[in-house]
A and B are shown apart, each in its own frame.
Chain A
Amino acid sequence: MHWLEQDSDNRNDRTEARGSGSDQRVGGPPDVRRERDMSISFQLNGRPTTVAGDPARSLLDVLRRDLRLTGTKQGCDHEGECGACTVLLDGVAVRSCLTPVAKAAGRDVVTIEGLGQSGALHPIQEAFVELGAVQCGYCAPGMVLTAKALLDREPAPPRRQILEALAGNLCRCTGYLRIVEAVELAAARLRAEATPGSSHPRAPVSELGAPQRWVVGGDATRVDSVDKVTGRAQYVEDLRMSGILHARVVRSPHHHARLVALDVTRALDLEGVVRAMTAADIPGENGLGDYSRDEPILTPLNGTCKMQGAPVALVVAASPEWAQAGVEAIEAEYEILPHIFGIEEALAEDAVSIYPEGNILTTEAEAHGDLEEALDRSDVVLETRYHTTWQEHATLERETLLGYFDEKDRLTVVGGTHQPHWQRRYIAAALKLDTERVRVIMPPTGGSFGGRQDPWPFVATALATYGARAPVRLTYTRSESFEASPKRHPYRVRYRVGATADGCLTGIKVRVDANTGGYDGHGQYIANYALTASGGPYQYRAVDAHAQTVYTNGPKAGQFRGFGSPQSVFALESTLDELAERLGEDPLEFRRKNAIGQASTSFLGYPVAESLGYQEVLDSIRPRYRSLLEEAASFNAGSSSGGLRKGVGFSGMWYRFGKSGTLRIEAHAELSQDGGFVVYCSAPDYGQGTNTTMAQMAAEALGVPRGRVRVVNADTARTPDSHIQGASRATYFVGGAVCRATHVLREEILGAAAEMLDRAPIDLTLAEDRVLASPSDATEGVSGRVHAEGAETSVSLVEVAREFDRIGKSRKTRGVFDLSPLFPEDTRPEYIPLFVTGAQVAEVIVDTQTGEVVVPRVVAAHDVGRVINPLDARGQIEGAVVMGIGTALMEEYVPGASTGFGDYYLPTAMSMPEIDVTLVEVASFEGPYGAKGLGEAAIVPSAPAIINAISRAIGARIRSLPATPERVLSHLTADS
């Protein structure tokens, strides 16, 4: 019997070319699926379902496009590399992107939408939410389903088996630990359910932070994780809009080439193509404003493409397939120019000239003291040289944006970013529109790590929407994302550092070269961050520091978690480790001896402005460091190690947080008519959790449960401008403004209620939905009237809101967090000296015969100020540690070669170490509730700790990232 049959005489010749999606309603009749097409029937989430079309289409496309089940995510180019599309086929976890839909015939398909019963979460989903296993959420549906398949088969899997089962699902945010713990918790609960009379196991909250310290009385779970874990969250790729068109980009295939001819007519001849746009079609500025000063939106005719993937034209079409056909029909001709990738080549005297002004974009310098004298008086002077490489953000969600005209005819772009208001400005400039005619909205976003600061996708989407006068979605393919999105800057760092025999640093000379690739992309600012981080929180008698940003024809570099700091810190902390080794000093005590104090003059020539917890960090990590050192020594002394060597590495660090954009941040808070609270702020949440943090801080300031607060976040039409969210500033700056706005609102509410109740505001409290008068001995009101027995002692917030309206008082308040008075204009350093510190210790095992490295354990201690959300703070650190393993051991983008997750190695669950996190709390002076920035700082010490561990294990210094097996082995053979 043939299960699937078709009438081969009636060929539906549109199905493939147009896609069978429901998106293409423009430029032709709606897609008609002929009844005589092959039809495929299966059970989908328990319901009989029949679909038609090409039986070899991926189940993923059929689920998302035909059946509109968008909980199943796509992270790669249908290559089975990421796991976001995992579904269950007869209870077995499979890649829906690699599964022809015909394989579903007669079977049971379960997607994330089919999990849980009658609205209740499945215990796995519940555990994911509870334990903070969901950050950006893009991997969550696939993870949950993979876990379900495992637990259905193995009710009590040991951790190793969980890691193996999850090894096919990439997560870029969490570091996997919360996910693994959630699976363990869910397993325990499912077993308990299966055993009548046993109790429901509780989450191990005791390990997650003391509940009484939680700012909002205990609830640290994300406000949006239920949506993400059920597949309900609407990321941009999931949004539907009638008449939507699709944009794709024509990009230069050459690393360095002049565009000598460009003809779009053949593309326009295609039936499904609506528009083909070149630089000539840009009404305003063909650039990205002050963000990337030399980067055109589309390279103009006779202009030069400075990197592979440089965009030259946009095609807007009825379907992604038509758009791709249009891209292929555009004829572009190039004059190929010689290209260079390396810093050394770019700085050579006879270097290929990438820009007429030369290959250096910016320089920064800092010098004080007499360096030569300081080095002369040193007992040891070390010269070192370190290299890092390009890194890809590799967020699970690809660049995806949606443009349309909103109800007020504003050109609106929905897309994940750090700076909606700046994106609005770039769009307005490119389209020659008033900024008021443009709107940018932040949707749920599948990770950023800095990658989504790139204005290009915003401006391109706006241009396409403007040109087509219709809704347009731009989605990068994964390989396009690899080719065209910004990368982490590769560095060359050179040191000359001196120390006395008793372990005191004397002088430091540092030269940093940062490779910005073909375009600025904010690389103009990287030199300053590179320089700042290159000295660390240590004291020197003399400093001579210089950093510069260098153009090459590599991919444009941009923001990446830690913005310019991790590369410098890798070089510095490696150099200090070498120095400690030479001096016979303990690495941790050596740092401690040289660490700056609260009032010391820093490497930068002035003291720090925020509380500095570095000594506390070092003290807190010392015991674990010592015990790991001892374990490693005894392991290595054992004869049965079989070519394996254990090493323990230490790294400290500081990270300058907070300053990106303005020092003055505004937020609004509102008492709504229904008596609830709304906060309006711009603290974009791309997965790191600001939607939750802001709600927590607002609720704390108001004194109400978090559920009473709704956050409207990052919509230029509704929320105030917070400039750009970088440098881990959201909690500190925007949180500060939210606290002030809500504090003011509370005062005003209590003031109004005091009038209404005839009590003093000080006697009133906010609770849930009412203002309560505290029980008091006094029966005399503030007005002098005597209250009768049973007089009104509370008033509802609905009534208070009504009272505001009655007296014409705004229910919206403004809060401003402003550090500019602390730093008067005339003495303010360009970047204000807010620093956080942290330290990590890594344990590694090196196979000295093959160079393979595993990281069994990482201990992390970070000064976070006061913890706002302990789950998320830990989640940030755990995710950073695993990302740091990628940096140290695996990740390396090769220009012109890297295409996606298949050749760019991200850590999987199998690479997850045991992670011990200590949140060191040294309250900040200025931040809300004493908070400081954390998200970026956490990544900074990971790679150097691991590299120091490897170097100490093998007795040879690794000086370039990543430490691949080959690189490690080459050090072993070279030095033996």
Chain B
Amino acid sequence: MAKSTTLSREYLYPTSVEEAVGLLAARQGGARVIGGGTDLMPDIRRGKLAPGCLVDITRIPGLDRIDVAQACEAKPACEAKPACEARPWSVTVGAAVTFTSLRNHTFLKQHVHALVEAAASVGGPPIQNAATWAGNIVQAMPAADGAVVAVALDAEVHIVDEDGARWRPVESLFEGPGISAVDPTRQLITAIRFSPPGFGGSSSASEAKPAWGTAWRRVGRRPALALPILNCAVAVSLEEGLSGRSELSREGRSIKRVAIALGPVGPRPERMREAESFLTGRMPTEEAIARAGELAAGEAKPRSSTFRASREYRLEIIPVLVAQALSAAFARAEPTVG
């Protein structure tokens, strides 16, 4: 609580990323990036943070865009995304994009269910109207819906500061509960990007419907406006080679790649590597999926929380959530439909 202390604050709307970086640098730690502000405002009110200057990046032209670059090899002019040649498409989400925009995005609704459902899980609709995916990731909370799904999607963020710009995997940003490698007093995230899982290789991307899918599963104390007891995002892809036509069951195609992210089961959004490596190369049978769930429970380290659930309960339902999410994702990866 501010008493009789001085607090005169600047609030700035830079019109370019470069300007934003310059403003932050000039204030030498006294300024802080604000996106939607839904987490930052309570922190300022409680006195946890007292930035003398807020640099609002939500009006920088272009940062509110969701770009879907499809079949990049057909678009050699895709200069902004150097790594995407090998990918059939990639999605780039600007730092000012709100969860509502993610929820309502036509392409994402059709193709990236986990992201859309995770976006719909954040707080309630008015929070989603203001809160940004980038801000959610920078908050670095172990069960942040946006962070967990980003980790499952192997998303990368574009970080800009005085030293330049670089893409870094979202997963590498979390240094502890609420501690991010991104320093909002001198750096900003400008975009988040991801591609379908399993498309890093040289295989032809000519298949119209890649054999991949994502899913989201969340348990909470009530259906809206509640932090999760557990949330789980998965992204899977199946080996190509087999045609995958309707006469073949999905057991006919082995798992090429799988990502399983859970929260809160550790100090940050966590990937369940043992479960993932167990599944990789196997057929997505019910038994394999169930086993993966058990492995995930074995490697997860949830804690008890007063208001949400005990560690024991969380451990008990991890296999269920992981299995349900995997089943849904594999069903979506199944290219028999259409």
Contacts of B224 in A (CB 8 A): 164, 167-168, 908-910
CB distance from B233 to the nearest CB of A (A): 17
* 354-406 of chain A: CB within 8 A of chain B: none
A168 lies within 8 A of B45 (CB): no
Which of B7, B124, B316, B320 is A908 in contact with, Cβ under 8 Å? B124
- Whether a CB of chain A sits under 8 angstroms from the CB of B331 is no
* Stretch from A100-108, A294-302, A794-802, A818-826 contacting the other chain: A100-108
* Stretch from B208-216, B250-258, B307-315 contacting the other chain: B307-315
B9 lies within 8 A of A55 (CB): yes
- Whether a CB of chain B sits under 8 angstroms from the CB of A408 is no
A966–B309 CA distance with the chains assembled, in angstroms: 7
* Stretch from B10-18, B62-70, B199-207 contacting the other chain: B10-18
* 119-171 of chain A: CB within 8 A of chain B: 146, 164-165, 167-170
* Stretch from B125-133, B159-167, B168-176, B260-268 contacting the other chain: B125-133
A56 lies within 8 A of B124 (CB): no
B125 lies within 8 A of A325 (CB): no
Q: How many residues of B contact A (CB 8 A)?
A: 52
A100 lies within 8 A of B320 (CB): no
A40–B54 CA distance with the chains assembled, in angstroms: 14
A168 lies within 8 A of B4 (CB): no
A849 lies within 8 A of B317 (CB): yes
- Whether a CB of chain A sits under 8 angstroms from the CB of B42 is yes
- Whether a CB of chain A sits under 8 angstroms from the CB of B123 is yes
B229 lies within 8 A of A54 (CB): no
Q: From B124, which residue of chain A is reached at the shortest CB distance?
A: A168
CB distance from A95 to the nearest CB of B (A): 5
- Whether a CB of chain B sits under 8 angstroms from the CB of A852 is yes
- Whether a CB of chain B sits under 8 angstroms from the CB of A4 is yes
Contacts of B45 in A (CB 8 A): 58, 78
* Stretch from A9-17, A526-534, A750-758 contacting the other chain: A9-17
B10 lies within 8 A of A38 (CB): yes
Contacts of A38 in B (CB 8 A): 9-11
Given that A56-B41, A905-B221, A908-B222 are contacting pairs, would A973 and B129 also be in contact in the complex, using a CB cutoff of 8 Å?
no
- Whether a CB of chain B sits under 8 angstroms from the CB of A436 is no
B56 lies within 8 A of A102 (CB): yes
A16 lies within 8 A of B2 (CB): yes
CB distance from B190 to the nearest CB of A (A): 19
B99-133 vs A, CB cutoff 8 Å, 1 = contact: the mask equals 01000000000000000000010011111011000
- Whether a CB of chain B sits under 8 angstroms from the CB of A683 is no
Contacts of A321 in B (CB 8 A): 1-3
A1 lies within 8 A of B15 (CB): yes
CB distance from A282 to the nearest CB of B (A): 27
- Whether a CB of chain B sits under 8 angstroms from the CB of A49 is no
- Whether a CB of chain A sits under 8 angstroms from the CB of B5 is yes
- Whether a CB of chain A sits under 8 angstroms from the CB of B144 is no
A2–B42 CA distance with the chains assembled, in angstroms: 25
B223 lies within 8 A of A271 (CB): no
B306 lies within 8 A of A8 (CB): no
Interface centre among A1, A851, A897 (most CB of B within 10 A): A851
B32-73 vs A, CB cutoff 8 Å, 1 = contact: the mask equals 001001100110110000000010101000000000000000
A40–B11 CA distance with the chains assembled, in angstroms: 10
Q: How many residues of A contact B (CB 8 A)?
A: 74
A98 lies within 8 A of B38 (CB): yes
Q: From B128, which residue of chain A is reached at the shortest CB distance?
A: A168
Interface centre among B8, B222, B306 (most CB of A within 10 A): B8
- Whether a CB of chain A sits under 8 angstroms from the CB of B83 is no
Q: From A105, which residue of chain B is reached at the shortest CB distance?
A: B13
A585-623 vs B, CB cutoff 8 Å, 1 = contact: the mask equals 000000000000000000000000000000000000000
- Whether a CB of chain B sits under 8 angstroms from the CB of A81 is yes
Which of A95, A165, A168, A897 is B307 in contact with, Cβ under 8 Å? A897
Contacts of B3 in A (CB 8 A): 17, 321, 325, 328
Contacts of A270 in B (CB 8 A): 4
Given that A56-B9, A852-B219 are contacting pairs, would A102 and B54 also be in contact in the complex, using a CB cutoff of 8 Å?
yes
B127 lies within 8 A of A908 (CB): no
A911 lies within 8 A of B222 (CB): yes
A767–B42 CA distance with the chains assembled, in angstroms: 58
Contacts of B38 in A (CB 8 A): 80, 95, 98
B225 lies within 8 A of A103 (CB): no
Which of A3, A40, A78, A898 is B41 in contact with, Cβ under 8 Å? A78
B4 lies within 8 A of A271 (CB): yes
CB distance from B250 to the nearest CB of A (A): 18
Given that A12-B8, A167-B124 are contacting pairs, would A964 and B1 also be in contact in the complex, using a CB cutoff of 8 Å?
no
Which of A54, A849, A889 is B8 in contact with, Cβ under 8 Å? A54
Given that A894-B306, A966-B313 are contacting pairs, would A55 and B54 also be in contact in the complex, using a CB cutoff of 8 Å?
yes
A659–B288 CA distance with the chains assembled, in angstroms: 64
A100 lies within 8 A of B1 (CB): no
B1 lies within 8 A of A168 (CB): no
Which of A1, A81, A92, A894 is B225 in contact with, Cβ under 8 Å? A81
- Whether a CB of chain A sits under 8 angstroms from the CB of B6 is yes
A953–B4 CA distance with the chains assembled, in angstroms: 59
- Whether a CB of chain A sits under 8 angstroms from the CB of B149 is no
B41 lies within 8 A of A325 (CB): no
Given that A103-B37, A167-B223, A911-B223 are contacting pairs, would A95 and B10 also be in contact in the complex, using a CB cutoff of 8 Å?
no
- Whether a CB of chain B sits under 8 angstroms from the CB of A903 is yes
B296-338 vs A, CB cutoff 8 Å, 1 = contact: the mask equals 0000000000110110010011001100100000000000000
Contacts of B41 in A (CB 8 A): 56, 58, 78, 97-100
A54–B9 CA distance with the chains assembled, in angstroms: 6
Q: From A164, which residue of chain B is reached at the shortest CB distance?
A: B125
Contacts of B306 in A (CB 8 A): 894, 897, 903
- Whether a CB of chain B sits under 8 angstroms from the CB of A413 is no
Given that A99-B37, A167-B124, A168-B224 are contacting pairs, would A6 and B8 also be in contact in the complex, using a CB cutoff of 8 Å?
yes
Interface centre among A93, A164, A165, A850 (most CB of B within 10 A): A850
A80 lies within 8 A of B2 (CB): no
A850 lies within 8 A of B126 (CB): no
- Whether a CB of chain A sits under 8 angstroms from the CB of B181 is no
CB distance from B179 to the nearest CB of A (A): 21
- Whether a CB of chain B sits under 8 angstroms from the CB of A965 is yes
Given that A16-B5, A321-B1 are contacting pairs, would A55 and B10 also be in contact in the complex, using a CB cutoff of 8 Å?
yes
- Whether a CB of chain A sits under 8 angstroms from the CB of B226 is yes
A170–B225 CA distance with the chains assembled, in angstroms: 10
B129 lies within 8 A of A92 (CB): yes
- Whether a CB of chain B sits under 8 angstroms from the CB of A83 is yes
Contacts of A97 in B (CB 8 A): 41
- Whether a CB of chain B sits under 8 angstroms from the CB of A938 is no
Interface centre among A40, A94, A324 (most CB of B within 10 A): A94
Contacts of A169 in B (CB 8 A): 124, 126
CB distance from B148 to the nearest CB of A (A): 17
- Whether a CB of chain B sits under 8 angstroms from the CB of A890 is yes
* 271-289 of chain A: CB within 8 A of chain B: 271
Interface, chain B (partner A; CB < 8 A): 1-15, 34, 37-38, 41-42, 44-45, 54, 56, 58, 100, 120, 123-127, 129-130, 219, 221-226, 229, 306-307, 309-310, 313, 316-317, 320-321, 324
A-B contact pairs, 21 of them (CB 8 A): A4-B10, A4-B13, A8-B10, A13-B8, A17-B5, A54-B8, A55-B9, A56-B44, A78-B45, A95-B130, A169-B124, A321-B1, A850-B320, A903-B307, A905-B226, A905-B307, A906-B222, A911-B223, A965-B309, A966-B309, A969-B316
A-B residue pairs, 5 tightest by C-beta: A168-B124, A55-B11, A167-B224, A102-B11, A910-B223
Interface, chain A (partner B; CB < 8 A): 1-4, 6, 8, 11-13, 15-17, 37-38, 40, 54-56, 58, 78-81, 83, 86, 92-95, 97-100, 102-103, 105, 146, 164-165, 167-170, 270-271, 321, 324-325, 328, 849-852, 854, 889-890, 894, 897-898, 901, 903, 905-911, 964-966, 969-970, 973
If A38-B9, A58-B45, A167-B225 are given as contacts, then 16 extra A-B residue pairs at C-beta distance below 8 Å, sorted by A number, are A54-B8, A56-B9, A80-B127, A93-B125, A100-B34, A102-B54, A103-B58, A105-B13, A146-B125, A271-B4, A889-B222, A897-B306, A903-B307, A905-B221, A905-B222, A965-B317
